[in-house]
A = this chain, B = another copy of it.
Amino acid sequence: MSKLSEDQSNEIEEARSNVSSTLRAVSPGMEEILYRSMPVLDHGFVRVVDYMGNDGAVVQAARVSYGQGTRQVSEDRALIHYLLRHWHTTPFEMAEIKLHVKMPIFVARQWIRHRMASVNEYSARYSVLDREFYIPRPEHLAAQSTSNKQGRGEVVGPQEADRVLRLLVEDAERNYDHYLEMLNSKEDGTRVDDARTGLARELARMNLSLNYYTQWYWKTDLHNLMNFLRLRADLHAQYEIRVYAETILDVMKRWVPITHEAFVEHRLEAATFSGEALKALRRLLAGEKLEQSDTRMPKREWEEFRAKLGIA
């Protein structure tokens, strides 16, 4: 489990002890968790550092109103569903969230591909990284999928798992030992050898492996957060980023419960059918029996089509 240092925990609780008055819109569900660390993977976390707006901010902007813009809950709910169903995006850009996230570097490399966000990352040019690296739990050590070139298949056997875990731990530890050695630094930050200055941090870091943890402040708006979640909370996303997305999906539910509900309904549980798929659908509804060869869909789309409809 991810452990914060005592200093870090104190910083967080001090931040939580500062209660202020504000005229701004507030999200009660977010106030409860603000600043607190939600553990993810073995050393990672997600912390909400700040937010702006709530469900009301979406309807307020959609209505370009002078006050809060909210009316009856049922009207607001219908509007939010309508906006999402019809792919309106700008009202959802009007609410903002800021997270502090700690994650393995290979997860950070996928995450950063979402460009519509602001990022401040902990700098390994400026500071020494901690001896913290990700080691999967045995049940997540999956073999290469045989059907999907970029996915996972079955979990590997216990013997193979042991071997993999041993290699991962040994290499990560050794690489860190040598990182410190190049820096001429002991674990506590003091020098090993006063005669050496040690290699520049920006160089020594290259010896660390991609499972080392990094951290950043990440800020985005609700629209772009949903784009992130749609891709990364999906079953095709790599497990190690999906658990972050799932944690953030829970945060979203606290923050903007109505938008969350509409997002699940119109994005996560929705499915898109191509022109050819729609033709096939109409024929099925008219009572025809269809094989792939009766349609113009390629094999893979045909299988996806059947999966969406729950046809065996």
* Residues of chain A having any CB pair with chain B under 8 Å: 4, 7-8, 11-12, 14-16, 18-26, 31, 34-35, 49-53, 57, 60-62, 64-68, 78, 81-82, 85, 87, 90-91, 93-94, 96, 98, 100, 104-106, 109, 112-113, 115, 118-123, 125-126, 134, 136, 140-146, 149-154, 156, 160, 163-164, 167-168, 171-172, 174-175, 178, 181-183, 196-203, 205-211, 215-217, 219, 221, 231, 238, 264-266, 268-278, 281-282, 284-285, 298, 300-301, 304, 308-311
Contacts and interface: CB of A to CB of B under 8 A. Distances in A.
Of A8, A24, A49, A120, most B-chain CB atoms within 10 Å: A24
B67 A14 contact: yes
Of A34, A172, A206, A282, most B-chain CB atoms within 10 Å: A206
Of A64, A85, A196, A216, most B-chain CB atoms within 10 Å: A64
B221 A118 contact: yes
Nearest to A134: B206
B168 A206 contact: yes
A31 B26 CA distance: 14
25 contacts: A11-B65, A12-B67, A15-B68, A19-B22, A20-B21, A20-B22, A20-B24, A24-B51, A53-B98, A142-B203, A144-B198, A156-B197, A163-B181, A164-B182, A167-B178, A167-B182, A168-B206, A168-B207, A174-B174, A205-B210, A206-B211, A207-B210, A208-B209, A209-B210, A269-B275
Contacts of A57: 50, 98
A163 B178 CA distance: 10
